[in-house]
Structure 1
Amino acid sequence: MSASLLQRTLTLLATLLAASAVIFLALEVLPGNAAQMLMGADASPEALQALEQKLGLDRPALQRYGGWLAEMAHCRMGNSYVYGTPVSELVGERLTLTLPLTLLAMAITTVAALLAGIYAATRHNRLGDVGMMTLSQLGIAIPSFWFAILLILLFAVQLRWFAAGGFPGWDEGVWPGLKALILPALSLAVVQAAILARNTRSAILEVLHEDFVRTARAKGLDERAILWRHVLRNALVPVITVMGWQFASLLAGTIVVENVFYLPGIGRLIFQSIANRDLIVVRDCLMLLTALVILVNFLIDVLYVVIDPRMRGPAR
């Protein structure tokens, strides 16, 4: 177990290093100049050169990358070109929205998918199964931003149950904040719930054909007891792995959905920073989201080993 955990930890660190290199190189090839964006088209060459020196843009790319790695190793972020404040403050403010939005979307995804997957699996090849899988196929085909627009038209414009966008802040209370996140969370969850429902159904059907299930039936156990006590525990192993991947998709999806609903989260901050050529903010935010995704998948990988002893390798 300890050797397996060490191997996964080393893989985690190597993945983080590779991700940082990709993010840095991707932003290096973007056209434009941050100093030019800040000072405008009429700035003199001397002023531009002075600002580039102040921002450290005149240093070689490899030196800037090494400095960035050193800052991350000490859990520090740089200062925004545009806002003039530490990136950590900007990120901290917006994480209070993005993380609750992602967790709410993940909760909706999990509950809806498990219920739909169990319902379909227990009615295999019947009308309920066919209907549920048809709905899930439609859910997979719907883009999140398009579904978000439909939700706004229905629940905000027509029914007026929710606001079309914006966020009142947690200072106004928990319920007003959660109410503002319900439609964005639903638009994020629809695709992931459809995918997870199909995976849950497949996992349950596979376990239902195992020998221990036939043994439990031969002993006279009730079908409901077999499903909840024996089948689900074994079927959830691959399902949990898929949920780890989906958390990554939900984090990435916030970039689009937050802009549709005009939410001041990490996704909107990245979008605005790209427009302003504020590459320090873009770089640090992308690295933070990437690290969160990698860390979640690492935890899911460890949990997978805990749940399934066969993944621990041969005993020594």
Structure 2
Amino acid sequence: MASYVLKRFTGMIVVLFVVATIVFVIVRIAPGDPAAVMLGPDATPADIAALRDRLGLNQPLLVQFGVYLGQILTGNLGDSIFLNMPVLTALGQRAEPTFFLTLFSILIATVIALPIGILSAYHRGSLFDQASTTLAMFAASVPSFWLALILIQVFAVRLGWFPVAGYGGPDTTLFERLHHLVLPAVTLGVVSSALILRFTRASMLDVLDDDYIRTARSKGMAETPVILKHAFKNALIPILTVIGITAALLISGAIVTETVFGLPGVGNLVVSAVMRRDYPVIQGALLVVAALYVLINFAIDMLYLVIDPRVRF
């Protein structure tokens, strides 16, 4: 088991190093002077020179890369040009909406996908199976911004059940803020449920015809324990994998939904940084999202040890 954990941890460190290197290279090979691009066409040569000195762009590339890695290891992702604050602080201030949006979205997607996927596999070939597969394909093909606009029109404008946009003011309670996240979470949850549903159905179909399932039934075991205790447990590893990938994708892919609903999350911050050419924020956001992606996958790998003891060997 120690060897398995060590291999996964080493792989995580390697991936993070590669991502950090790619981010560093992209900023340096972009057309034009990064400092001039950040400051815009109205910047004076003195302003550009001052920013280049502030960002360390006058130093050799290897020195810049070494300083860059050292800053990352100490948690220093640089300072935002336009926000006048550390990038990590700016990301922290926007983390709450994105965190709760991702959490609720993956919960909604899981609650929708797992029961339907299990029942669809159990009743393979039936009308229910065909209908659920068709709905999954439809949900996967629906653009999230289109579904978001439909939900806003029906449940926010016409019925008035939920806010149209925003996340509440500084004095808003947590419950009211979560109320603002219902429609965005449903939007992402419905779209994300399609992939989880299809993987659940496929994984269940792979195990339902195995010998141990027939043996459990031949011993007179009830269908519910056979399906949930034996079949679903053995089909859970690929399902957990796709749930982890979906959660990681939601963190980085909620930009459109946050923009449509006016949520002050990380996605909205990245959009603003791109429009302003605030490279330190873009660079820091990429690193943080990549780190979260890798950490989620590492946590899923550790869950394998709990679900299937064979992984330990």
Normalising by the residue count of structure 2, what TM-score does the alignment of the two structures yield?
0.94
* Cα distance in structure 2, aligned partners of 1:119 and 1:184: 27
Paired AA for residue 150 in structure 2 = L
* Cα distance in structure 2, aligned partners of 1:48 and 1:217: 75
Partner of 1:219: 219
Partner of 2:58: 58
Superposed CA deviations along residues 104-123 of structure 1, whole A, max 9, x for unmatched, are: 11111111111211221222
Contact 2:104 2:185 in 1 (8 A): yes
Unaligned runs of 5+ in 2: none
Partner of 1:271: 271
Query: 1:208 deviation in Å?
Result: 1.2
* Cα distance in structure 1, aligned partners of 2:18 and 2:34: 25
Contact 1:148 1:184 in 2 (8 A): yes
* Cα distance in structure 2, aligned partners of 1:32 and 1:97: 35
Partner of 1:190: 190
Normalising by the residue count of structure 1, what TM-score does the alignment of the two structures yield?
0.93
Query: 1:171 deviation in Å?
Result: 4.0
Deviates more, 1:57-66 or 1:152-161: 57-66
* Equivalent residue pairs, number: 313
Partner of 1:232: 232
* Aligned sequence identity (%): 39
Change in Cα spacing, 1:187 to 1:29, as seen in structure 2 (3 Å) is farther
Contact 2:27 2:34 in 1 (8 A): no
Contact 2:97 2:265 in 1 (8 A): yes
- Runs of 4+ in structure 1 off by over 6 angstroms are none
* Cα distance in structure 2, aligned partners of 1:51 and 1:77: 16
Partner of 2:255: 255
* Cα distance in structure 2, aligned partners of 1:71 and 1:212: 54
Paired AA for residue 299 in structure 1 = A
Alignment of 1:150-189 (within 5 A): 150-169=150-169, 171-189=171-189
Contact 1:5 1:302 in 2 (8 A): yes
Paired AA for residue 121 in structure 1 = A
Unaligned runs of 5+ in 1: none
Deviates more, 1:26-35 or 1:58-67: 26-35
Instruction: Let me know the Cα RMSD of the aligned residues.
Output: 1.8
* Cα distance in structure 2, aligned partners of 1:231 and 1:169: 48
Change in Cα spacing, 1:40 to 1:216, as seen in structure 2 (3 Å) is closer
* Cα distance in structure 1, aligned partners of 2:38 and 2:309: 56
Partner of 1:241: 241
Alignment of 1:1-316 (within 5 A): 1-31=1-31, 33=33, 35-36=35-36, 40-169=40-169, 171-313=171-313
Contact 1:170 1:177 in 2 (8 A): no
Change in Cα spacing, 1:27 to 1:40, as seen in structure 2 (3 Å) is closer
